[in-house]
Chains A and B, each alone.
Chain A
Amino acid sequence: MTTVRPTSSRSLRDAEQHARRMHLLVAGAATAAAALVYLGVLLAARDRLPDSMATHFGLSGRADDFMPTDTALWVQGAAVLGVPLLLLVVLARGQWWRGVGARPTTALVAGVGTGLTALFVAITRAHVDISDPASVSITWQTAVLALGVGAVVATAAALILPRALPRPPAQPVEPLRIAPSDSVSWFGRASSSRWMLGALAIAVVALSVLGIVSDVWWLWLVALGVVVLILGVSSFAVTIDRSGVTWRSALGVPRGHVALSEIQSAAVVEVTAGDFGGFGVRALPGRLGLITRTGPAVSVTHSRGTLVITVDEADTAASVVEGLRLRARR
């Protein structure tokens, strides 16, 4: 693990504010610019488009699916503006600019938005002054070009964005006083908020409904997979005792254990989803996060890395680990 230069909380706050502003600005500017370009092309080409447009192209580049022009343009416009905006809203909930993956994430949002726009502009342009949309074809060079536009914008975005923020310092805790004849066990839980579980439940219901109406049988498998995934990553039982720190998901797997003899320290840290690039079981180099919510979490530094768990009463958990560790050392 790299060591972080000691930073005062004030300069950390300033750095975070700067990072947030830069990330929102870059993502917002790329999205707005893409939307404006698309709108400009649309206004210029509107009167010269056929009644229906090709919206899907086979591998050969020939059009194989069509839509009324108005609908096609609305769908394209919604994608150009909607996809990046939706990504931004979801990411902003987890304060993504604080995380280690902040730069690639913003770059991806900017790149996807502009790449999609480039593709739609090319498709719309190919329809200008054409009466039969079936004669429209898109070459693979066009697709590569759109991809290239997205990649260039993403790279440019990554270059102007600030480096990843230094980690906020962990808050040390008062170790629990444990006598040699005491036996101490702490049982805790890290659970997702009702909002999160509600949103996931809606996703499962939507998938199931889609499975019913569309007759696509494997959508049921997807829904089942999502349910298993939710059970596996949304709630963890954590035990702290003389053997160390043991955790397991509501499903039983994934699970893990850090032996007391391996533990070097325990403290409380404030985490957001952005810190680990999302919720769930998050593995980063040297760090494992069981992240079910934002807020205080227990951070256990051991010989193989750091384990961060968003347990309830993180301060008690940290003080029990410290107490057990100090007693074992005596």
Chain B
Amino acid sequence: MLIRIDTTATEPIYSQIAREVRSAIARGEAPTGSRLPAARELARSLDVNMHTVLRAYAELREAGDIELRPGRGAVVLPRTRLDSDVASAVEHLLNVARRKGVRLADLHQALEEGDTR
């Protein structure tokens, strides 16, 4: 599972970590039932504060992507299937973004911003 964060980006680091975990799950690098690295371990490896990682994991739990079990750590939950209308809209959005050369990270940010508006 590859986690890459940009320490100079405006997007908060916890949100970058959550996004990276989500895309690792989507890519199949973290299958259902597998364990994410312990928060302490990931924090040390990325050279960030452990609370930042814990916040990212909390967000993933809120979203239903992972489950936090005492003693077992963060476990990946089965993925929720998207509604077919939404799935085709996503595909359309990705096609447009690819044609216009918009980076996935920027697209993510646009979606996040649109959500808070």
Known: A181-B8, A239-B41, A313-B29. A186 touches B48 (CB 8 A): no
Q: Shortest Cβ distance from B100 into chain A, in angstroms?
A: 22
Chain A, interface residues (CB within 8 Å), range: 10 to 19
Assess whether B113 is interfacial by the CB under 8 Å rule: no
* B residues whose Cβ falls under 8 Å from a Cβ of A: 1-9, 29, 37, 41-42, 45-48
Q: How many A-B residue pairs have CB under 8 A?
A: 47
13 further A-B pairs in the complex, CB-CB below 8 A; given A182-B7, A185-B37: A176-B2, A183-B7, A183-B46, A184-B2, A185-B4, A185-B42, A185-B45, A186-B2, A187-B3, A187-B42, A188-B1, A242-B47, A320-B2
Residues of A within 8 A of B29 (CB): 313
B37 adjacent to A187 (CB under 8 Å): yes
Residues of B within 8 A of A185 (CB): 2-4, 37, 42, 45-46
Q: How far is the CA of A185 from the CA of B29 in the complex (A)?
A: 13
A181 adjacent to B6 (CB under 8 Å): yes
Assess whether A59 is interfacial by the CB under 8 Å rule: no
B4 adjacent to A183 (CB under 8 Å): yes
Q: How far is the CA of A178 from the CA of B7 in the complex (A)?
A: 12
Residues of B within 8 A of A44 (CB): none
A181 adjacent to B3 (CB under 8 Å): no
Q: How far is the CA of A181 from the CA of B8 in the complex (A)?
A: 6
Residues of A within 8 A of B6 (CB): 179, 181-183
* A residues whose Cβ falls under 8 Å from a Cβ of B: 176, 178-179, 181-188, 239, 241-243, 313, 316, 320
A316 adjacent to B2 (CB under 8 Å): yes
Q: How far is the CA of A188 from the CA of B71 in the complex (A)?
A: 20
Q: How far is the CA of A316 from the CA of B1 in the complex (A)?
A: 9
Residues of A within 8 A of B41 (CB): 239
Most chain B beta-carbon contacts within 10 A, residue among A181, A182, A185, A313 = A185
Most chain B beta-carbon contacts within 10 A, residue among A187, A188, A243 = A187
Residues of A within 8 A of B3 (CB): 184-187
Residues of B within 8 A of A320 (CB): 2
Q: How far is the CA of A241 from the CA of B41 in the complex (A)?
A: 11
Q: How far is the CA of A285 from the CA of B42 in the complex (A)?
A: 33
Q: Shortest Cβ distance from A221 into chain B, in angstroms?
A: 28
Known: A179-B6, A181-B8, A187-B37. A239 touches B1 (CB 8 A): no
Residues of A within 8 A of B5 (CB): 182-183
Q: How far is the CA of A313 from the CA of B34 in the complex (A)?
A: 15
Q: How far is the CA of A313 from the CA of B28 in the complex (A)?
A: 11
Residues of A within 8 A of B37 (CB): 185, 187, 239
The residue on B at minimum CB distance from A181 is B8
The residue on A at minimum CB distance from B30 is A187
Q: Shortest Cβ distance from A257 into chain B, in angstroms?
A: 12
B7 adjacent to A187 (CB under 8 Å): no
Q: How far is the CA of A185 from the CA of B7 in the complex (A)?
A: 13
Residues of A within 8 A of B42 (CB): 185, 187
Q: How far is the CA of A316 from the CA of B3 in the complex (A)?
A: 12
Known: A239-B41, A241-B45, A313-B29. A184 touches B7 (CB 8 A): no
Q: How far is the CA of A184 from the CA of B4 in the complex (A)?
A: 4
B4 adjacent to A182 (CB under 8 Å): yes
Q: How far is the CA of A303 from the CA of B9 in the complex (A)?
A: 35
Residues of B within 8 A of A186 (CB): 1-3
Q: Shortest Cβ distance from B5 into chain A, in angstroms?
A: 5
Q: How far is the CA of A101 from the CA of B5 in the complex (A)?
A: 45
Q: How far is the CA of A187 from the CA of B8 in the complex (A)?
A: 23
Q: How far is the CA of A182 from the CA of B16 in the complex (A)?
A: 11
Q: How far is the CA of A178 from the CA of B6 in the complex (A)?
A: 10
The residue on B at minimum CB distance from A317 is B2
Residues of B within 8 A of A243 (CB): 45
9 contacts between A and B (CB under 8 A): A183-B4, A183-B7, A183-B47, A183-B48, A184-B3, A185-B3, A185-B4, A186-B1, A187-B3
